[in-house]
Amino acid sequence: MVAGAVLDLRIPALVPNWIGGRERPAGDGREFAKLNPATGSRVCGVARSGASDVEAAVAAARAAFPAWRSLTPVARGDYVRAIALAIRDHAEAFARVVHDETGKSLRDARGEVNAAVEMGLFMAGEGRRWYGRTTTSAVPHKTAMVVRQPLGVAGLIIAANTPIANVAWKVFPAILCGNTAVLKAAEDTPATAWAVAMVAHALGLPSGVFNVVQGFGEEAGAPLVAHPDAAIISFTGSTAVGRTVGRVAGARLAKVCLELGGKNPLIVCDDAHLPGAVEAAVMSAFSNAGQRCAAGSRLIVFDQVYDEFRRLLLERIGRLRVGTGDDADFGPVINAGQLEQMLAAIETARAAGTRVLVGGHRLSGPGYDCGYFLAPTILEGPGPDDPVSRHELFGPITALYRVRGFAEAVALANRSDFGLTAAIWTRSLHRAMEFVGRIESGVAVVNGATYGSEPHMPFGGLKASGNGLREAGTEALDVYSDWKTVYVNHDPGAT
């Protein structure tokens, strides 16, 4: 790609796979329709790939691996940096693709594109650090060290909620570490993955290093998970599917990274800065239409400030705008099926006696009728073990819980199968640090939202939120590389 060249990233009529450096339809020619969640209208057709397409992509990745791994990490980082900078050069076009696929505002899409660029720039720098360890040996004239090595073909599977960031979080560290990649794009956001691969190939990334397979989970994801040549499966998605992925890939002893769901608590203590806590709660629960693994879906509030917090919260929700323009706070949910599931969960909760304080229904009227818009929804007082308290809803829905104090708040926060993120609002340093120590989560936030990760910081969860690995940060290198322990006897005659 010549410097300054502008690529045409408009979504094509059929979004293809990228296999071995070429765009390809599904081998059997099948396709499915991708709809715009804001309008319900067709955006494009998508290659409906199956096992034979996965086979071709894995073969291309396997063939590209020896040459790619033999580049220095610095050289691989140079490719990653070039891709990140080209995404930045095409930021507006990428934001448009994300906007058209997800219905989120261009403003939010731009933010997400920027996050992907930042991840690329951070990971590119890791190519120059690439630290191992040297140490001493019990034997004279012998050096001991630990160095990183790539794994092989990386099978990457992602969710649709923040499409370009999800691609960046997996593809950049995977190829930086010397692996070649087969990305199974999310079926709801096929064009974003296609466009990133387009940029990478225009820049001259060697064929087969980054392959994209479009399609559904059962048809295109499952064959990748089961493929004997995929040395690692890195999966971001629901806990239910993650369990299957872990079982299938684990049975063939592949490395498995699982980044799964959350049911993230935000505790508001009696000494909290209430306006700040309300704003953090609203952003945690509703930004990106609640389609975040780190969404704040359980608001746990001390009795002393409960009524005031609730009043301020409802007042703030009354000012939320739902739509696709840059003045909107959030947009539609990703597809009709997800919307139906959310409405069903709300009805189940209502039938069990939970109060629906606000929302709880699909939005209608001009601008809403054909899309998948759910009103911002606050539930009050569900039981801690009710389905709505336990299951991730992945939409603009949160619940309020009243507690008598700190011990009860932390106990309720921890009463979950998940353990991804958690936040507390308090002015007490002691309380904050007690919370940090006791909360069962991979991310703990004091006086902030439940989301908001940074590229140089590890992200991931405990319990049903993951399997102990972390993405982003230097820790991502531990996902996509393995250690090699090296002994060098530098005076062979002395042994």
Nearer to ligand NAD, 73 or 261 (CB): 261
Q: Give me the helices (H) in 258-376, please.
A: 274-286, 303-317, 336-351
Least gap, CB of 58 to ligand NAD (angstroms) = 14
Nearer to ligand NAD, 271 or 440 (CB): 440
Instruction: Give the DSSP letter of residue 459.
Output: B
Among 68, 79, 394, 406, binds ligand NAD (CB under 6 A): 394
Least gap, CB of 351 to ligand NAD (angstroms) = 24
Q: Which of residues 96-115 bind ligand NAD (CB under 6 A)?
A: none
Residue 260 near ligand NAD by CB under 6 A: yes
Least gap, CB of 244 to ligand NAD (angstroms) = 5
Nearer to ligand NAD, 68 or 394 (CB): 394
Nearer to ligand NAD, 226 or 274 (CB): 226
Q: Which of 44, 257, 269, 293 is catalytic?
A: 293
Least gap, CB of 476 to ligand NAD (angstroms) = 12
Quick note: the x/- pattern for ligand NAD over 201-230, rule CB under 6 A, is ---------------xxx--xx--x-----
Contact 466, 460 (CB under 8 A): yes
Least gap, CB of 248 to ligand NAD (angstroms) = 8
| Count of residues in contact with ligand NAD, rule CB under 6 A | 27
Length of the chain: 495
Closest CA to 373 of 400, 338, 398: 338
The amino acid that residue 86 corresponds to is A
Residue 160 near ligand NAD by CB under 6 A: yes
Q: Which of residues 423-462 bind ligand NAD (CB under 6 A)?
A: none
Is 259 annotated as catalytic?
A: yes
Contact 47, 22 (CB under 8 A): no
Q: Which of residues 354-393 bind ligand NAD (CB under 6 A)?
A: 392
DSSP string, 83-145: HHHHHHHTHHHHHHHHHHHH---HHHHHHHHHHHHHHHHHHHHHHHH---EEE--SSTTEEEE
Residue 262 near ligand NAD by CB under 6 A: yes
Say which residue the tokens 């048809």 belong to: 219
Q: Which of residues 225-244 bind ligand NAD (CB under 6 A)?
A: 225, 236-238, 241, 244
Residue 50 near ligand NAD by CB under 6 A: no
Instruction: Give the DSSP letter of residue 30.
Output: -
Positive or negative, the Cα torsion across 177, 189, 294, 251?
negative
Burial degree of 353 (CB within 10 A; 0-12, 13-18, 19+): exposed
Nearer to ligand NAD, 32 or 144 (CB): 32
Residue 186 near ligand NAD by CB under 6 A: yes
Candidates 21-29, 152-160, 314-322, 344-352: pick the segment binding ligand NAD (CB under 6 A).
152-160
Nearer to ligand NAD, 236 or 426 (CB): 236
Contact 220, 54 (CB under 8 A): yes
Is 293 annotated as catalytic?
A: yes
Candidates 42-50, 153-161, 192-200, 366-374: pick the segment binding ligand NAD (CB under 6 A).
153-161
| 341, two tokens | 């599931």
Residue 184 near ligand NAD by CB under 6 A: yes
Least gap, CB of 16 to ligand NAD (angstroms) = 17
Q: Which of 31, 112, 219, 259 is catalytic?
A: 259
Residue 489 near ligand NAD by CB under 6 A: no
DSSP string, 159-172: -SSSHHHHHHHHHH
Residue 159 near ligand NAD by CB under 6 A: yes
Closest CA to 290 of 311, 263, 313: 263
In whole angstroms, give the CA distance from residue 488 to residue 237. 43
Closest CA to 215 of 61, 63, 29: 29
Residue 192 near ligand NAD by CB under 6 A: no
In whole angstroms, give the CA distance from residue 342 to residue 21. 40
Helix, strand, coil in percent for the chain, rounding step 5: 40, 25, 35
Among 83, 115, 156, 293, binds ligand NAD (CB under 6 A): 293
Least gap, CB of 187 to ligand NAD (angstroms) = 5
Residues in contact with 7: Cβ distance below 8 Å, sequence separation at least 6, in sequence order: 1, 86, 90, 93, 198, 199, 202
Contacting residues toward ligand NAD, per CB under 6 A: 157-161, 184, 186-187, 216-218, 221-222, 225, 236-238, 241, 244-245, 259-262, 293, 392, 394
Give the residue numbers marked as catalytic: 259, 293
